[in-house]
A and B are shown apart, each in its own frame.
Chain A
């Protein structure tokens, strides 16, 4: 597979290490989180395989293209709007969670609205880049930030203050029945692959996905899930960890690089995560823009020969985000996120059904 394919998956995994996934997992730490995670990895890998396999058979074609070729128009419009909603909320949740986090720790004097707007302005324009440019941006930011993040995770694993006893205590809860919410949030880590609905345009040559690739993604996902859940427990204890609002921020604040330029790891960590969350947002909203393009003709609306549709879209993005930020509080964003994870239980199967129908119809069309 092309390396850009792995970026799409990896970005979703890494961006969710410190956001809401660990909070949800830790909430269920005595109620079957471990089995849920194991099941989540298996189901996640199956989804990755099915979706990659589907798009591999149509190199260079995005989902809207395929829909147009096979499905009735009313269904296309309906389905694309559903997809737009899913991807827009993915970006919105990432954005709001991270701005709340960043402002809380890095710039407590700033208002939430201000911080969000600063990010949204740039990201909203970035979404209109071409798919390849977006992926190149992702690569550059990955190359710049990933080594430092890996270093911080390495420091966490080797830290002498990391109590493996707590991790073992957490593992003794393996005999509890799995629950749905931690299961869905584990699956969500693998859903970066869904971005292929648009980014498949970029992969014009036929790719291969077999056991090797799936094993690699599986190992990656296992490591990421393990880090997400167990490292905060090792640093903050098992019994009382649910009283911590941001487990990963507290964890990174518990690390100390004695001879580093900045002794307090949390600032470095949050700054790098700002970059990661920005590219996550960029990918998600790029998909939204491309899906919009498949429904509306962006070239149509012009004032003095300047296309104004992009501006309408940007203004819509900014206003929706601004209104949400003003209205929402931390508890609401938590519930919002949990419902968002849960809804994939319906939307991913329906996406798979639609894909199956497309495949069948294309096959039939070929025959006749």
Chain B
């Protein structure tokens, strides 16, 4: 009995020693108030060939209580550097805390930096660091990233960056916003056959305005999309919950809100090697506004009118893409899925075929009602 107890005691000591190993992990962790949490990062080109990267950080300035501080509180720092990491090393000397990238949600690239800096370098930095989220949103700042980073809109509340609401698809579900995650931008940038689209963020009277986008092509040729084109892009990529369309003909003027949109796009290769781009869209919705009296019996006619109008808009958009030799929809990738890999044409041949491709675009509408009025 006594002997048994003795061995038990020995094991107890071992157990206590082992358990106390857990405390060691405290030695390697920095306390939370010693960290500066970064909310946004902006990258501009500085114009200085020695130190081309200008990095601007927006850091949450912690307050003791959210209730006491009625307005959001941020610290802004910026610095030039030979690379992004170099700039961040220099920035570390400007704050008394450790820079913590784990909560970074917004990566803002200045409009100029897209042309002047290597996107590859920036992407490399953001996806190589394990602490930066691959689900952070990438966007373009106009006129510069610094301008957007330092902008605090009036509607912003403490401890919640209002840009969240634009991209989260939780508060604002506008069809004009292109929401682009970092990993998505990365895969589209590096893969042939699809080009990434980034939203352009502007400011207007102390508020953000996000209604246009920029396509970045293979050879850094960029094409800007205006508001309507951005919307068509979003619809084609299935990024929207709701989309509206104004039908304006001689006799009718009404507006449709479509809430169920089904997009089917394909590439069809003919026997002579020419390509047809096939885009079929089916939308279901209701009429929400009209300048004239509407007859519910005429829904079929309205369907046709709307379909014709939407087909034209889509056609115009795709022709623009073809002419600028840019492919944000991903027809190239779709084409690669149609055949075994060794029967495909080369990428250059494909781009040529894409440019000369015929179009087969059809938009059909299935309107469900004319709203509360007849």
Binding site for B on A (CB under 8 A): 30, 104-105, 107-110, 114, 117-118, 121-122, 160-161, 163, 165-166, 168-169, 172-175, 235-240, 243, 250, 253-256, 258, 263-264, 305-306
Q: Is there contact, CB below 8 Å, between B340 and A174?
A: yes
Closest partner residue, chain B, to A169 (CB atom) = B336
Asked, given contacts A114-B24, A121-B18, A121-B21, whether A165 binds B135 with beta carbons under 8 Å apart, the answer is no
Q: Is there contact, CB below 8 Å, between A237 and B191?
A: yes
Q: Kindly supply a per-residue 1/0 record for chain B positions 267-305, scoring 1 wherever the CB is within 8 Å of any chain A CB and 0 otherwise.
A: 000000000000000000000000000000000000000
Q: Kindly supply a per-residue 1/0 record for chain B positions 303-335, scoring 1 wherever the CB is within 8 Å of any chain A CB and 0 otherwise.
A: 000000000000000000000000000100110
CB distance from B347 to the nearest CB of A (A): 10
Out of B10, B29, B333, which one reaches A306, CB within 8 Å? B10
Asked, given contacts A166-B333, A306-B7, whether A240 binds B190 with beta carbons under 8 Å apart, the answer is yes
Q: Is there contact, CB below 8 Å, between B133 and A264?
A: yes
Q: Is there contact, CB below 8 Å, between B18 and A237?
A: no
Q: Is there contact, CB below 8 Å, between B130 and A254?
A: no
Out of B7, B24, B135, B190, which one reaches A264, CB within 8 Å? B135
Residues of B contacting A174 in the complex (Cβ-Cβ under 8 angstroms): 340
Q: Is there contact, CB below 8 Å, between A107 and B135?
A: no
Q: Kindly supply a per-residue 1/0 record for chain B positions 4-37, scoring 1 wherever the CB is within 8 Å of any chain A CB and 0 otherwise.
A: 0001001000000010011011001110000000
Q: Is there contact, CB below 8 Å, between B170 and A258?
A: yes
Residues of A contacting B166 in the complex (Cβ-Cβ under 8 angstroms): none
B183 within 8 A of A: yes
**C-alpha spacing A121/B24, complex, angstroms:** 14
Out of B3, B25, B191, B238, which one reaches A239, CB within 8 Å? B191
**Cross-chain pairs A/B with CB under 8 angstroms, 6 sampled:** A105-B130, A161-B183, A172-B341, A236-B187, A263-B135, A306-B10
CB distance from A249 to the nearest CB of B (A): 8
Out of B131, B183, B336, B341, which one reaches A235, CB within 8 Å? B183
Closest partner residue, chain B, to A238 (CB atom) = B191
Q: Is there contact, CB below 8 Å, between B187 and A240?
A: yes
Residues of A contacting B170 in the complex (Cβ-Cβ under 8 angstroms): 258
Asked, given contacts A110-B28, A306-B10, whether A254 binds B181 with beta carbons under 8 Å apart, the answer is yes
**C-alpha spacing A235/B181, complex, angstroms:** 11
**Interface pairs A-B: 9 shortest CB-CB:** A237-B187, A168-B337, A240-B190, A254-B183, A237-B191, A253-B134, A109-B28, A172-B341, A256-B135
CB distance from B172 to the nearest CB of A (A): 14
Residues of B contacting A168 in the complex (Cβ-Cβ under 8 angstroms): 336-337
Q: Is there contact, CB below 8 Å, between A258 and B168?
A: yes
* B10, B135, B187, B191: most-surrounded residue (chain A CB, <10 A): B187
B contact residues, total (Cβ < 8 Å): 38
**C-alpha spacing A263/B28, complex, angstroms:** 25
Residues of B contacting A169 in the complex (Cβ-Cβ under 8 angstroms): 333, 336-337, 341
**C-alpha spacing A254/B168, complex, angstroms:** 15
**C-alpha spacing A192/B130, complex, angstroms:** 31
**C-alpha spacing A118/B28, complex, angstroms:** 14
Residues of B contacting A258 in the complex (Cβ-Cβ under 8 angstroms): 168, 170
CB distance from B10 to the nearest CB of A (A): 7
B257 within 8 A of A: no
**C-alpha spacing A346/B186, complex, angstroms:** 42
CB distance from A363 to the nearest CB of B (A): 46
* A108, A254, A258, A263: most-surrounded residue (chain B CB, <10 A): A254
Closest partner residue, chain A, to B3 (CB atom) = A305
Closest partner residue, chain B, to A305 (CB atom) = B3
* B7, B29, B131, B191: most-surrounded residue (chain A CB, <10 A): B191
B192 within 8 A of A: yes
**C-alpha spacing A264/B333, complex, angstroms:** 28
Residues of B contacting A243 in the complex (Cβ-Cβ under 8 angstroms): 190
Q: Is there contact, CB below 8 Å, between A175 and B333?
A: no
Q: Is there contact, CB below 8 Å, between B168 and A239?
A: no
Out of B10, B25, B339, B341, which one reaches A110, CB within 8 Å? B25
Q: Is there contact, CB below 8 Å, between A250 and B134?
A: yes
Q: Kindly supply a per-residue 1/0 record for chain B positions 164-205, scoring 1 wherever the CB is within 8 Å of any chain A CB and 0 otherwise.
A: 000010100000000001011011101110000000000000
**C-alpha spacing A237/B340, complex, angstroms:** 17
B342 within 8 A of A: yes
Out of A108, A118, A253, A263, which one reaches B183, CB within 8 Å? A253
Residues of A contacting B191 in the complex (Cβ-Cβ under 8 angstroms): 166, 237-240
Asked, given contacts A105-B130, A306-B10, whether A161 binds B184 with beta carbons under 8 Å apart, the answer is yes
**C-alpha spacing A121/B22, complex, angstroms:** 11
Closest partner residue, chain B, to A263 (CB atom) = B135
CB distance from B287 to the nearest CB of A (A): 28
CB distance from A116 to the nearest CB of B (A): 12
Residues of A contacting B30 in the complex (Cβ-Cβ under 8 angstroms): 109
**C-alpha spacing A109/B238, complex, angstroms:** 41
**C-alpha spacing A365/B82, complex, angstroms:** 79
Q: Is there contact, CB below 8 Å, between A254 and B336?
A: no
**C-alpha spacing A189/B353, complex, angstroms:** 44
Q: Is there contact, CB below 8 Å, between B131 and A108?
A: yes
Q: Is there contact, CB below 8 Å, between A165 and B337?
A: yes
Residues of A contacting B22 in the complex (Cβ-Cβ under 8 angstroms): 118
Residues of B contacting A121 in the complex (Cβ-Cβ under 8 angstroms): 18, 21
Beyond contacts A108-B131, A264-B135: 8 other A-B pairs, Cβ-Cβ < 8 A, are A165-B337, A168-B336, A169-B341, A174-B340, A236-B186, A253-B134, A254-B181, A254-B184
